[in-house]
Structure 1
Amino acid sequence: MNEVLKAIKTRRSIRKYLPDPLKQAELEAIVEAGQYAPSAHNDQPWHFTVIRDRTLIDRISAVSKEGMAKSGVDWMEKMAASDKFHVFYGAPAVIVVSMRKDAMSPLVDCSAAIENMLLAAESLDIGSCWIGLARFWFSYGEEVKRLNLPEGYEPCYAVAFGYKGHRPSTALPRKENAVAWMD
């Protein structure tokens, strides 16, 4: 099996990380992979903010948990109530992906960039987890100003990165009847 297909099939969301910081070159390679993602009309409407500041990562988690606690969604409220739960699972690095609001399809384009970063991380034996729950922090405008985003950009997702604190099991079988062939 070639290396790309291997990374696709072995990548899993990691929810336990070693505390060791990632190397600068590793983070640069991951971000560069995101920059090479396809985008509508090659617009590249993304901006990446690499966060290694533990205080800021913990702040984003705490504010996100506050939003989760008020969400009205049972499972989110239960997670937020746990002192042990951290939105980024203790990862030493977080990349916030922001999108240019006036782009043609910024969420799709940024999602493609995130997938590239997830696969690049896997190819480097680095764990990752796409974090949708950070959106609660994104809704606090004063907090988001800390990112110093370019004018016209807003954060859409965050991704946790770090050395794997556990080895996940193999993938569950894929759902049947998900493909139709029309010859």
Structure 2
Amino acid sequence: MEVLEAIKSRRSIRRYKTDQIDDKKIEAILEAGRWAPSWGNTQCWRFVVVRDAELRAKLTDTLMKIKLPDKEIPNPAANAMNTVPVIIAVCAEIGKAGAKHGPGGGGVEYATDKGDWFMFDTALAVQNMVLAAHAQGLGTVIIGAFDAAQAEKVLNVPKGYRVVTLFPVGVPDQEGKAPPRKELSEIAIKDKF
């Protein structure tokens, strides 16, 4: 699959078959993440591959409900988390990306006015991974609405790291539809805003 084709055809999938996934396919997904660019080649990401059913269920319990004016509804990704054979938790080492460490290892000074760059770097890795999954006929949905502190407890994440996102990986049981996209003329600006 060509890169632009993968970018344009990849969809967020929330319904999956229960089929198992070969370790080689998961390894290819992880390799795609490993080769993502990062600030100063810091590679602050860590990928936790969760196959254990009990741990997957506990991670599902960390998903935040959607609050409507008169009720709460389950996160639409909960069904995906309960069905897939694999969830990948993407973690980041805090204070590494976008940072300059003081002399003798003391203190952290950020090189930009945006602070810690870990969200940006992990997003690059996640994009690579979900495209690699798609290229292998697998589906994913990137989940950000979850209790990260609780997920960190479930996964025994050490101090100095955060869980940034979760994404289930599985064989799609539905075809995603392309959401409407703004025209290029609405988002691309020449020279000045």
Q: TM-score, normalised by structure 2?
A: 0.78
> Following superposition of structure 1 onto structure 2, how do residues 7-18 of structure 1 map, counting pairs within 5 Å?
7-18=6-17
Letter in 2 for 1:14: I
2:152 alignment partner, one of 144, 147, 158: 144
Matched positions, count: 170
Cα 1:33–1:124 change in 2 (3 A) is: same
Query: What is the SS of the residue equivalent to 1:98?
Result: strand
1:129 aligns with 2:128: no
1:175 alignment partner, one of 158, 182, 190: 182
Structure 1: where are the runs of 5+ without partners?
none
CA distance in 2: counterparts of 1:6 and 1:32, whole angstroms: 20
4+ aligned runs moved over 3 Å, structure 1: 84-87, 148-151
Letter in 2 for 1:54: A
What's 2:172 paired with?
A: 164
What's 1:30 paired with?
A: 29
Q: TM-score, normalised by structure 1?
A: 0.82
Percent identical among aligned pairs is 32
Which protein is bigger by CA-based radius of gyration?
Answer: 2
Offset of residue 148 of structure 1: 3.6
Letter in 2 for 1:139: A
CA distance in 2: counterparts of 1:131 and 1:182, whole angstroms: 35
**Counterpart contact for 1:16–1:166, Cα < 8 Å:** yes
> Following superposition of structure 1 onto structure 2, how do residues 1-183 of structure 1 map, counting pairs within 5 Å?
3-65=2-64, 68=65, 73-74=67-68, 78-80=72-74, 85-86=78-79, 88=81, 90-103=83-96, 104=98, 105-133=117-145, 135-136=146-147, 138-140=148-150, 144-169=152-177, 171-176=178-183, 177-182=186-191
Structure 2: where are the runs of 5+ without partners?
99-116
CA distance in 2: counterparts of 1:130 and 1:53, whole angstroms: 19
**Counterpart contact for 1:79–1:85, Cα < 8 Å:** no
Offset of residue 173 of structure 1: 3.7
Offset of residue 150 of structure 1: 4.6
